[in-house]
Structure 1
C-alpha cells in the first residue's frame, strides 16, 4: 500500500497525511510546475473536505483521538475472528498446506495457482509502508506500537479470510477463460436485499474508489517515490538523475517495464510476483536479521521495551490509547484487510472450493504485518540509531513525524554503510510489484463500468502506464490525498457488505473442514501422479478402488476418475 499515509501527532488528530516519504523532485520546467499547482488547486478543497470526513477522529481522554476508519477496520477484525472461532489460528497449518498445492488440481477453473494468488495480493500490500510507515509509527507511538501492530495483523487475518472466500464464491469466468471476481461480484449480492438501485450505487462507489486509488496511490505515488529514492542515492541535484529530462527518461523506462508485464493480464502479473515477492520478502527479512543479530545483546531489552511500551507508556491513559491506536493504524493501513482490494487478485485462483482461497488469504496479513512490519520495527528499535530517539523527541516537541525511510535507513547503516543503495533497490522492487498488482485492481474496476472487452482493457492499460510516467514528473499532493480517502471509503462499503454474507462463508468453511476431517478433501496435486497411477492400476487389476478413510465412492456421487483423483462433490463444484 501507499506509505504516504502516515500519522499525525499523537496529541492531535491521528489521521493519515499524504506527505511523501522523500522530498519529491521539482518539475523539470516551469510549465510542468504550473500544471501541478493548477491541478492541486482544483482538487485541494475537495480532497480536504473528503479527508475530514473519511479520517474523522473521535476525541479521547488524554489528548489523543481515534480515527473512525481505524475503529471500523479493527472492529471488523474482532467481530469476524469471533464469528469464525478465530479461524486464523485453528486453520493456519491448513492454510500452509493449501498454498503449497496439496489439495489443488491443475484443471480447476481459474487462471493462477494458490501461491501465485497469494504472491499477487502480497505484492499490492508489501510495499513502501513496510519500510517507511513503520518507522514513522515507532516515532509516534514508541516501541510499544509494535505489539499492537502484531495484534491488529492477527485480527486482520480473519477479515482477509472472509473477504477472499467471497471473492472466489461469487466470481464469474469469462468466455476467454479469464476470471472476474472480488467485491464487484459479491457486493451486489450482499446489498441486493435492499433493491437493485442501492446495490448498484454502493458497488459503483466501491469501483470508482478502487479505480482512482489504483491510478493515484497505487501507481503515481509509487513511481514518484521510486524516482525520488533513485535520485537521492545518486547524488540529488548534482547526480545522474538531477538533470533536466532525467525524470522523463526514468518514467518512460518504468512505464515500459510496467506495460510489458500488465499487457499479459493476471497470469503475467502472477508469474512476475510469484518470483519477485519471495525474493523481496526473504531478502528484506534476512537483512533485518543481520542487523538484529549483530546487536544480539540488545534483543532482550528491545522486547522488554516493546511490552512495557504497549501497556504502560509514560504518558498514562492518553499515551496508552495513543500507542494502541498508532499500532492498529499502521497495521490496518499496511495489510489492507477489509478494504476489498485483495479479493480481486485472489478470485483468479484455480479452485472449485472458494473457502480454500480464504485459508490462503489469511496468510497475507501474517506475512505483511506480523513478519515484515515487525522485522522493520525490531531492526529500528534494536539498532537504536540516533535518528530514532531524535524522531521520538521531535514528535514530543510537536514537530510531527520524521521521515520513516530515514529511520529505517539509519538503522541498517549501523551495520552496513552502503545500505542506502540496497534500500533504493528494495524501494524500486516494492514499488514495481505494487504498481503491477494495482493495475489489475484498477482494470477490474474499469471492467465493472465498461465491460470485459479487449479494446477497453487496452485503453485502460495505456491510461495506467501514462500515469506511471506522469507520477515521476509531478507530485499532485492533493490528488494523492484524495485517492487515500477513496481507498478507505472502499473499507466502509466492503465490510458493510461482508457482514451480510458471513453465514454463507461459514457454510463453505464448515463443509471444507468436514471434508478434510473425513478424508474426502484430498485433490490431486502435481506431486501425486505416482499415487494416481497406483490407484488406476489397482482398479484395472481388481475392478475396485481403495477406500479412503470413511469416504464411500458409491455414496459420494463421484465418478471413478473423480474418486481416483481424491475429488469430492460439493455445491461449489457446480458453479
Structure 2
C-alpha cells in the first residue's frame, strides 16, 4: 500500500504546482509547454527530415517505410497485384473449405455461439474473428481523419499531382501489410480460453529467437510495445476525440467551456461499452460501422463526382501532369512526390505493425491467408478512399482556397455541391474517430498485456486509462502530446521493419504452404 501511495504522491505533486500557475495560463497550455520541452527531442528525432532538395525534405521514417515496402514488393514478386483477386476470394469465403475441419458428431457443438473456445475445440483452428471482421477491425484503425484532412493537406501543399504519389505509396504499402500480418498470425499466442494475443511483440520475440538472436528479438519487442502503448493513448485516442469534439462543436455552434468535456464523457462511455467486450465485440461493431461510415462518405463523394462528370478527365489530367511536371509547387517535382508519399504513409500505416495485432485474431490455420487479406487494407484506405477525396477537391477547384486547410478544405469542397454535407461530415468524422479509437484500444491493450502480464486486473486497468484519456483528449488542446504520440506510432515502424525483413523466408514458406493447400483443395 505504501508503494502505491508514494507513486500517487509522485504523480500529484507536479500537477499541484501546475495548478497554482493556472491564473495566468490555462492548464492545457502549461501542460502542452512542459510536455513539449520534455519530449521535443524525441519528436524531432523521429520526424527528422532528410533534405531532398534545397527547399524540400522528407522524414527519414517515411523513407524507411517506403524503402522497405518497395523491397518487400520486389521480394514477393508483386504479390500486391498478383494476390489481389485471391484476397477478395478469401474474404468472400471461397477457400473456407481448406481452412476448416468437420465437427466430430460424437461431441457435437460443445460451445455454441461461435466463440473462441469452440474455434479451438471443434473447428481445429485458432482465432476469434472471421477474415472479414479482422479486415474491418484493422481498417477502422487506418480509415479516418488522414483520408479526410490528410489528403487536403497534401493537395494544398503539393498540388493535384500529390494524389498520384499517394496511390503509388498505397500500392507499395499493400505488400508491407501482407508481410507483417502473415507473421502476426504465425507467431501469435493463444490462451487456454481461446483468447488470441498477437502482433509484432510476439513475432519479433519468437521469430528472431528461432534465428538464434533471441536477445535482439526481446529488445525490439519491448520497444515496439512501449511505442504502441504511447501511440494508442495519443494519436489513437486523444487526437481522435479532440478532432471529433471540435467539428461537433463547430457544427452545433457550441462554444461552452465544458462542451468538450461532456462530449468526451459520452464518447468514453460508448468506447468503454465496446472495448470491455474484447476483440470479438470490437470486430462485431467494426464490421458494421466501417462499411457504413465508408459508404456514407464515398456515396456523397460519388454524388459530387457524378454531378461534375464532365470534369473527371481534366481532373485526372491535372493529377498526372502535376505528378511529373509541377511548376513552382512546394519545390517542384520532388516536393509533390514527398507530399504524396508522406500523407499516404500517415494514412495507411503500412509497415508500422499496428494492423498485425488486429489481423492476428483471425480464425485460420494458414497464416498467409490473412496476410493476403491484409493487402486489401492500404488499397481501400489509400487507393480508393484517398483518391475519391482528392477527386472531389480537385473537381470542385477548392484546392486553390488558401483560407482553409485540412478537414475544413474537404468540407468546403463537398459543401460547394451539397450544402448540407458539413453535417454528414460531422457524423463521418465522429464515426471515423470512434472506430479508430476502439481499434487502437485493442492495439494498446495487447502491448500493455505483453509488458505487464496477461491478467484481468491489467486488462481493466488499461481500458479504464484509455477511457480517461478519451475525456482528456476531447476537453483540452495538447499539441505537444499528440505530436509525441504520433511520433511513437511511427517509431513502431523501426523495430517492426527490422524484424519483418529478417523473417522474410518464413513468410515465403507460409505463402507456399497456403497456395499448395488451395491447389490440393485441403
How far apart, CA to CA, are the structure 1 residues paired with 2:411 and 2:140?
A: 21
How far apart, CA to CA, are the structure 1 residues paired with 2:431 and 2:281?
A: 16
How far apart, CA to CA, are the structure 2 residues paired with 1:247 and 1:407?
A: 23
| 1:466 aligns with one of 465, 468, 472 | 468
| 1:85 aligns with one of 62, 65, 77 | 77
Q: For 1:5-24, list aligned pairs within 5 A.
A: none
> What is the CA-CA distance between 1:184 and the residue it aligns to?
1.0
Residue 116 of structure 1 contacts residue 271 of structure 1 at CA under 8 Å; is this kept in 2? yes
| 2:286 aligns with one of 268, 273, 286 | 273
> Does residue 1:438 correspond to 2:440, yes or no?
yes
Determine the structure 2 residue equivalent to 1:259: 272
Residue 178 of structure 2 contacts residue 371 of structure 2 at CA under 8 Å; is this kept in 1? yes
How far apart, CA to CA, are the structure 2 residues paired with 1:33 and 1:316?
A: 39
| 1:289 aligns with one of 267, 287, 302 | 302
| 2:259 aligns with one of 246, 250, 273 | 246
How far apart, CA to CA, are the structure 2 residues paired with 1:267 and 1:316?
A: 47
SS of match in other structure, 1:432: helix
How far apart, CA to CA, are the structure 1 residues paired with 2:300 and 2:329?
A: 35
> What is the CA-CA distance between 1:430 and the residue it aligns to?
0.2
How far apart, CA to CA, are the structure 1 residues paired with 2:212 and 2:37?
A: 33
1:396-432 Cα shifts (integer Å, max 9, x gaps): xxxxxx5211111111111111111111000000000
Determine the structure 2 residue equivalent to 1:218: 236
How far apart, CA to CA, are the structure 2 residues paired with 1:191 and 1:32?
A: 53
Q: 1:33 to 1:453 in 2, by over 3 A?
A: farther
Q: For 1:393-404, list aligned pairs within 5 A.
A: 402-404=404-406
Q: For 1:293-304, list aligned pairs within 5 A.
A: 293-304=306-317
| 1:173 aligns with one of 177, 180, 190 | 190
Determine the structure 1 residue equivalent to 2:516: 514
How far apart, CA to CA, are the structure 2 residues paired with 1:412 and 1:67?
A: 31
Determine the structure 1 residue equivalent to 2:427: 425
> What is the CA-CA distance between 1:190 and the residue it aligns to?
4.3
Determine the structure 1 residue equivalent to 2:401: 390
Q: Which has the larger radius of gyration?
A: 1
> What is the CA-CA distance between 1:98 and the residue it aligns to?
0.5
Determine the structure 2 residue equivalent to 1:5: none
Q: 1:490 to 1:32 in 2, by over 3 A?
A: farther
Residue 114 of structure 1 contacts residue 350 of structure 1 at CA under 8 Å; is this kept in 2? yes
| 2:411 aligns with one of 396, 409, 428 | 409
Q: 1:61 to 1:245 in 2, by over 3 A?
A: closer
Give the unaligned 5+ runs of structure 2. Answer: 1-18, 101-118
Residue 190 of structure 1 contacts residue 498 of structure 1 at CA under 8 Å; is this kept in 2? no
> What is the CA-CA distance between 1:230 and the residue it aligns to?
0.5
How far apart, CA to CA, are the structure 1 residues paired with 2:233 and 2:506?
A: 33
Determine the structure 2 residue equivalent to 1:541: none
> What is the CA-CA distance between 1:234 and the residue it aligns to?
0.8
How far apart, CA to CA, are the structure 2 residues paired with 1:117 and 1:268?
A: 12
Q: For 1:277-426, list aligned pairs within 5 A.
A: 277-315=290-328, 318-385=331-398, 388-391=399-402, 402-426=404-428
How far apart, CA to CA, are the structure 2 residues paired with 1:118 and 1:228?
A: 29
Determine the structure 2 residue equivalent to 1:182: 199
How far apart, CA to CA, are the structure 2 residues paired with 1:302 and 1:352?
A: 45
Determine the structure 2 residue equivalent to 1:535: none
Under a length normalisation based on structure 1, what TM-score does the superposition of the two structures give? 0.80
How far apart, CA to CA, are the structure 2 residues paired with 1:455 and 1:73?
A: 36
Residue 151 of structure 2 contacts residue 389 of structure 2 at CA under 8 Å; is this kept in 1? yes
Determine the structure 2 residue equivalent to 1:39: 31
| 2:491 aligns with one of 476, 480, 489 | 489
How far apart, CA to CA, are the structure 2 residues paired with 1:150 and 1:31?
A: 49
Residue 179 of structure 2 contacts residue 507 of structure 2 at CA under 8 Å; is this kept in 1? yes
SS of match in other structure, 1:66: strand
> What is the CA-CA distance between 1:46 and the residue it aligns to?
3.3
Determine the structure 1 residue equivalent to 2:146: 129
Residue 346 of structure 1 contacts residue 357 of structure 1 at CA under 8 Å; is this kept in 2? yes
Residue 126 of structure 1 contacts residue 335 of structure 1 at CA under 8 Å; is this kept in 2? yes
Residue 330 of structure 2 contacts residue 336 of structure 2 at CA under 8 Å; is this kept in 1? no
> What is the CA-CA distance between 1:41 and the residue it aligns to?
2.7
1:18-49 Cα shifts (integer Å, max 9, x gaps): xxxxxxxxx9x967964323322332123321
How far apart, CA to CA, are the structure 1 residues paired with 2:459 and 2:224?
A: 19
> What is the CA-CA distance between 1:109 and the residue it aligns to?
1.5
Residue 210 of structure 1 contacts residue 487 of structure 1 at CA under 8 Å; is this kept in 2? yes
How far apart, CA to CA, are the structure 1 residues paired with 2:244 and 2:267?
A: 9
> What is the CA-CA distance between 1:327 and the residue it aligns to?
0.5
Q: 1:118 to 1:317 in 2, by over 3 A?
A: closer
> What is the CA-CA distance between 1:338 and the residue it aligns to?
0.2
How far apart, CA to CA, are the structure 2 residues paired with 1:373 and 1:428?
A: 18
Determine the structure 1 residue equivalent to 2:12: none
SS of match in other structure, 1:242: coil
Determine the structure 2 residue equivalent to 1:23: none
> What is the CA-CA distance between 1:94 and the residue it aligns to?
0.6
How far apart, CA to CA, are the structure 2 residues paired with 1:389 and 1:301?
A: 16
Determine the structure 2 residue equivalent to 1:7: none
Compare 69-78 and 112-121 and name the one that shifted more.
69-78
Q: 1:512 to 1:195 in 2, by over 3 A?
A: closer
1:228-276 Cα shifts (integer Å, max 9, x gaps): 11000011xxxxx322432222211111100000000000000000000
Give the unaligned 5+ runs of structure 1. Answer: 1-26, 236-240, 395-401, 521-567, 569-575
SS of match in other structure, 1:482: helix
> What is the CA-CA distance between 1:330 and the residue it aligns to?
0.8
How far apart, CA to CA, are the structure 2 residues paired with 1:168 and 1:32?
A: 53
1:188-209 Cα shifts (integer Å, max 9, x gaps): 1344357444332221111010
Q: 1:31 to 1:210 in 2, by over 3 A?
A: farther
How far apart, CA to CA, are the structure 1 residues paired with 2:277 and 2:502?
A: 35
| 1:147 aligns with one of 157, 161, 164 | 164
**Across the two proteins, how many residue pairs are aligned to each other?**
477
